[in-house]
A and B are shown apart, each in its own frame.
Chain A
Amino acid sequence: MTRMQALEWLLFGMAFVSMLGGFAFVLFGLPPEAGQGYVQKIFFFHVPSAFMMYAGLLLGAGGSAFYLYEKKPVYDCVAEAGMTMATFFATIVIVSGPLWAKPIWGVYWTWDPRLTTTLVLYILLLAYHSIRRIYREPATQSKARAFSAIVAILTLIDAPLIHFSVKLWRGIHPTVLRNPDGLPESYRSALELMIIAFMLTASVIFLMLFRICKLKHRIDSTQIGDRHG
């Protein structure tokens, strides 16, 4: 086992332990919220997932910008891993949100500005992955990578819109974090613990996706070398 692999396993172990601790604390350590009951616990998975979605988008768009500037496969891999990580966490956000909304708002979905901008983001993420999968031939791959990089940068523009949509368009989505009376101390600690757990897990996921992408590039170049050799 190389040093890098050992470090990856260490990170994996830390992510697992923190997630185990975070889950146990949220589910069994915190009393159910007075108004919403057990449903409120979704908040501790929904919010950290949204943060990791933003982090993935930043990595995806950053990698894409570098790739457009300098066509190095490593930047393309950062972009792909970031965007895939963003898609993974966006799926958790978009599934956990309606599960909370049904008992609280009475409906699974409403065209609130934050929900709508999140859905737009999700569609853009799916578009990104579709572009990369449509052009699989070696001749068109570099074009697809450049095109998907532009989509990744466009997707990042939607992130601040999601974040500030509640204030901008007076949506009904709750803004607990910016409200000083929004969270009791124990709930804030639980949220911080869950954010750390999600950050560690997201790091492992990102690292793995990045390694897989690099392997794909390596195998592709070996095959091209074999064909020409």
Chain B
Amino acid sequence: MADTYLYFSFGFIAFLAVSFGGLGMLMRSVHRIEKSLDQK
């Protein structure tokens, strides 16, 4: 049982970190490109 919870916790943290980290980076890039196009 302890192992199951450990796997769950690890998978849970990894999934959230990767997916939201990626989404956050994407948002940042979009905002940067918009800014550079506005300045042109």
Task: Give A residues with C-beta under 8 Å from B.
Answer: 1, 5, 8-9, 12, 15-16, 19-20, 23-24, 27-28, 38, 204-205, 208, 211-212, 215, 218-219, 222
Q: How far is the CA of A137 from the CA of B31 in the complex (A)?
A: 27
Query: Taking the nearest CB of chain A, how far is it from the CB of B34, in angstroms?
Result: 7
- In the complex the two chains form, is A5's CB within 8 Å of B23's CB? no
Query: Taking the nearest CB of chain B, how far is it from the CB of A56, in angstroms?
Result: 16
Task: Give B residues with C-beta under 8 Å from A.
Answer: 4-5, 8-9, 12, 15-16, 20, 23-24, 26-27, 30-31, 33-34, 37, 40
Residue numbers in A under 8 Å from B12 (CB-CB): 23-24, 27
Residue numbers in B under 8 Å from A20 (CB-CB): 16
Residue numbers in B under 8 Å from A9 (CB-CB): 27
Query: Taking the nearest CB of chain B, how far is it from the CB of A99, in angstroms?
Result: 13
- In the complex the two chains form, is B23's CB within 8 Å of A205's CB? yes
- In the complex the two chains form, is A8's CB within 8 Å of B27's CB? yes
Contact (A215, B30) CB under 8 Å given A16-B16, A28-B5, A38-B4: yes
Residue numbers in A under 8 Å from B40 (CB-CB): 222
Residue numbers in B under 8 Å from A219 (CB-CB): 37
Residue numbers in A under 8 Å from B30 (CB-CB): 208, 211-212, 215
Residue numbers in B under 8 Å from A8 (CB-CB): 27
Residue numbers in B under 8 Å from A12 (CB-CB): 20, 23-24, 27
Q: How far is the CA of A12 from the CA of B8 in the complex (A)?
A: 24
